Chains A and B, each alone.
Chain A
Amino acid sequence: LAKTTQPISMDSYEGQEVNITCSHNNIATNDYITWYQQFPSQGPRFIIQGYKTKVTNEVASLFIPADRKSSTLSLPRVSLSDTAVYYCLVVRTDKLIFGTGTRLQVFP
């Protein structure tokens, strides 16, 4: 499976847009890109998944360029409750391999 690289941590303030970029240079044709959110002492929660171009749902947008070697999770107008760890995963099967994740801290 393709290895993912994402920033270890990011800081933001309430109301700002946060963009977390993940690189996955060795992504294969059949792989999907999926993002999960995890709060302390809880299991991860699915945020969004995409294959190419742009995907948007009620909580986030996912931007994937044509070469698919990277992806950007965009969180519009973050709030304090968005403080969490965000994991970018390249998914081929149900067996998910988690990288280090990005620890997002949102300040008032």
Chain B
Amino acid sequence: GAVVSQHPSRVICKSGTSVKIECRSLDFQATTMFWYRQFPKQSLMLMATSNEGSKATYEQGVEKDKFLINHASLTLSTLTVTSAHPEDSSFYICSARPGPPNTGELFFGEGSRLTVL
């Protein structure tokens, strides 16, 4: 079946540095990808919609300058956490769908755990 892959799966960084997380659709093209974050014991919170070739759409309360999203190709979206702080430590997950919107299954990546020291 369709696979969405994230890299890195785990990353530890120092406070103030920037971290980039990649989300790839391995065997399909995705014009739209979605980024979520999840804190321990909590549900997934939608952060933004990544649109290939155009600007991302951010959910209310998500800082676009803090969480930079680039969707440069039909198989790759990146999330960059800029000037990371300990409160940015979280589990970041992306999702994508092969085929037209609202058809079939949405696939999620394995997630990327960010720890900011």
Interface residues, chain A, with chain B CB atoms under 8 Å away: 41-46, 49, 87, 91-101
Contact = CB atoms under 8 A, between A and B. Distances in A.
A83 to B, nearest CB: 15
A27 to B, nearest CB: 15
Interface string B96-117: 0100011001111111010000
A30 to B, nearest CB: 9
Interface of B: 4, 6, 32, 34, 36, 43-46, 49, 91, 93, 95, 97, 101-102, 105-111, 113
Contacts of B46: 95-98
Contacts of B101: 93-94
Chain B binding surface, main DSSP class: strand
B29 to A, nearest CB: 14
A46 B106 contact: yes
A95 B36 CA distance: 10
A86 B82 CA distance: 32
A87 B36 CA distance: 15
A58 to B, nearest CB: 13
Given A42-B110, A42-B111, A96 B34 contact: yes
Given A95-B46, A95-B49, A101-B43, A43 B102 contact: no
22 contacts: A41-B113, A43-B93, A43-B108, A43-B110, A43-B111, A44-B44, A44-B108, A46-B107, A87-B43, A87-B44, A92-B102, A94-B101, A94-B102, A95-B34, A95-B49, A96-B46, A96-B106, A98-B36, A98-B43, A98-B44, A100-B43, A101-B43
